[in-house]
Amino acid sequence: MQPFRWDLVTPDQLGSLLEDTPEPDLWFLDDLITCAGKVLARSGNGDLVFVGRSLDSMFDLLSGALADVEEPGVHRAALSFQRPGVATSRKWALPPLTPAEVARVREVLADAGVTPASLARGPRPVAFVDVVYQGSTFTQLFEVVRDWIEDEREPWSVIRRKLRFVGVTIRRKTSPNTERWQQEEEWPAALPARSVLNVSLDYPVWSYLGDHQVKLHRSFKPKRWFAEPEGPDHTDRTRAALAEAVALVARGRTRDVRRALARAVDGEPALAEAWLRALVVRLR
């Protein structure tokens, strides 16, 4: 269904892959921990679904940190919606997804535990997490989910209260006139207040994670949604990336990192809610 990626929480399948790989340089770890803690705080007590592969490092860190915590769940939906644009009378735009492509998106979301039925009747919200520049991925994802809910005739009035979108954005100087990506979109108004929130990262870390970091599989764009799944890559570059991912899971399991995640929540408005205070206690 999704591209192959090693299970790094129970990594029995790694064998000797990491022999002779250099020790990874986790130069971005402190910033990643702080950002991940704030993502947790702004998730609305939702299970986390990391969209695409840009935030695989945050997925790995939190998979380790939350491995012994019953909730929230941490999942991946490796989808990328990047595809060639088409010319319109005013600008370039992305073509609509075909019915087959929509069906494949639904399959990937279901594989990550997200369906209209689970949203309507499950006990927890779902928080989609991704790096954001202009927000097109979240926009397309929302449209697919909204249409799916309508097709399944599940209650939108219930589900709209269980959807969260947390964007990891480039840190900029703040002012009353600062524009945020969600202000340019209409769909966030269909959700309750604070359902669409951001966490900022300094540009070097944001760009590393989103643009330059070697990933463990190729971007899962629509043109690859129907291709035969690729097996694991054993090149030196991928093995080095795998060593970095394994190290992040291991660091996430440590007491120091779990406590740092708890500290990152300090000052968050959601600390007034019992679920976040309970999570902080479990992390500490």
Specify the 3-state DSSP secondary structure of 47: strand
55-92 pLDDT, tens digit per residue, is: 999 999 999 999 988 889 999 999 999 888 776 666 66
89-140 pLDDT, tens digit per residue, is: 666 678 889 999 999 999 999 999 999 999 999 999 999 999 999 889 999 9
| CB-neighbour burial class of residue 185 (10 A; exposed 0-12, middle 13-18, buried 19+) | middle
pTM, to two decimals: 0.94
> Sign of torsion, CA 184 185 190 195?
negative
Contact 211, 133 (CB under 8 A): no
Nearest to 52 by CA among 116, 112, 119, 96: 112
Which letter, b or e, does each residue of 51-75 get, where b requires 16 or more Cβ atoms within 10 Å of its Cβ?
Answer: bbbbbbbbbbbbbbbbeeeeebebb
